[in-house]
Amino acid sequence: MHHERANGGAGAAPHDLHETTNPSLLRLKGRLREFWNTESVYWEPLTEEVAANSTHRAKAASFIPEGSRILDVACGSAANSLWLLPRGKYFGTDISQGGLQRVQRAGLRLTCADAEELPFVSGCFDAVIATYALEHSLNPVRMLHEMHRVVRPGGRIVLLGPTWDLPFWFPNALRSKANSHFWRFAYTSKRLIGQIGGYFLGRSPFLVIEEPDALMQPFICDSDAVYVVWSYEVIRQMKRCGCRLIHCEVDDHLLGSSPPVRTFKKLLMLLPLYRYAGSTLLMVFER
């Protein structure tokens, strides 16, 4: 699925995402759940027919060994099942009943559950996959921990979705603020400081958007994103969990057409912080 990109912005705040009882985050999670349950415009492009034409989803599924017990985290309408069923036993979870009610295939094993509190015993799956899902987590550290917990030693964890690595990139969840040059400067400065601090001090910012545009504006792709995904901190977090990165690729580095801008971005991407900067990123880990 294509994800639009905009540059700039503030309106996001760093969070201690190890805390799961923050009242404001719990309220936001409830509002997002209601949005996903009631907004049909969100689900219309997330069909199995669309998934059938997704080379990204096909590539992600190809890293799961055949005969696996597979958990599709935040599966939505289970569009991934098209690619995953031939590879093993499919299980899907999603926080939204609205998404699960739109599942087109019969006979799938599905559970309504929060990706940050998976209702499975540790090590019970051979592979866990999340596509276009991590950016919707209010506690991405917890979500990554849960995915690691439920996969067996030697199993695989596959993540596919958008990233906003460069400090002046932001999701459509912040697009309504982009006309303000002051906001863009404040957002970029805050992100850059957080990323530099995360790199040198070891404490990743895991930046969360507290008022995503989807709750206030007409919906467009990723206007419901709440985690501003930075690939460097995701990879480092997974390594802290004991996982090994075995594959990582980005589909489009979003360099643009202007020669000076292209050169500037290429120079930034030489830094470890932005090595995988781009549009849609595929990451495959082995526990």
Could you identify the residue written with the tokens 């470890």? 272
Residue 205 amino acid letter:
P
DSSP H helices, the chain, are: 23-38, 40-43, 48-52, 55-61, 81-84, 97-100, 140-150, 181-201, 231-240, 259-268
Question: Which residues 6+ apart lie within 8 Å of 112 measured at CB?
Answer: 93, 94, 95, 96, 97, 100
Residue pair 222/135 in contact (Cβ under 8 Å)? The answer is yes
Assigned domain for 197 exists? yes
pLDDT digits (tens, 9 = 90+) for 111-166: 999 999 999 999 999 999 999 999 999 999 999 999 999 999 999 999 999 999 99
Assigned domain for 1 exists? no
The yes-or-no verdict on residue 220 having pLDDT over 60 is yes
Strand partners, 7: 169
Quote the longest CA-to-CA distance of the chain: 54
Cα dihedral sign, 185-187-192-194: positive
Question: Mean per-residue pLDDT for 190-196?
Answer: 97
Q: What is the pLDDT of residue 51?
A: 72
Residue 85 amino acid letter:
L
CB atoms within 10 A of CB 16: 10
Residue 259, token pair as written in the block: 């020669």
Name the residue among 174, 15, 164, 160 with its Cα closest to residue 73: 160
What integer best gives the mean pLDDT of the chain? Answer: 91
Residue 281, token pair as written in the block: 């990123």
pLDDT digits (tens, 9 = 90+) for 31-47: 999 999 998 888 877 76
Could you identify the residue written with the tokens 């209702």? 119
CA dihedral 23, 24, 30, 34 (to 10 degrees): 160
Q: What is the pLDDT of residue 227?
A: 98
Q: What is the pLDDT of residue 52?
A: 73
Domain that holds residue 39: 6-286
Helix (H, G, I), strand (E, B) or coil at 156: strand
Helix (H), strand (E) at residue 118: none
Instruction: Report yes or no on whether pTM surpasses 0.95.
Output: no
Q: What is the pLDDT of residue 53?
A: 76
Name the residue among 142, 166, 174, 161 with its Cα closest to residue 253: 166
Assigned domain for 67 exists? yes
The yes-or-no verdict on residue 7 having pLDDT over 80 is no
Residue pair 207/234 in contact (Cβ under 8 Å)? The answer is no
pLDDT digits (tens, 9 = 90+) for 232-260: 999 999 999 999 999 999 999 999 999 99
Residue 138, token pair as written in the block: 């209010």
Assigned domain for 80 exists? yes
Could you identify the residue written with the tokens 């055949």? 66
Radius of gyration (C-alpha) of the chain in whole angstroms: 18
Assigned domain for 103 exists? yes
Considering its fold, how many domains does the chain have in total? Answer: 1
pLDDT digits (tens, 9 = 90+) for 77-96: 999 999 999 999 999 999 99
Assigned domain for 102 exists? yes
Q: How far apart are CA 15 and CA 173, in angstroms?
A: 17
User: Distance between the two ends of the chain, CA-based, in angstroms?
Assistant: 27
The yes-or-no verdict on residue 2 having pLDDT over 90 is no
Assigned domain for 127 exists? yes
- Domain with residue 62: its CATH number is 3.40.50.150
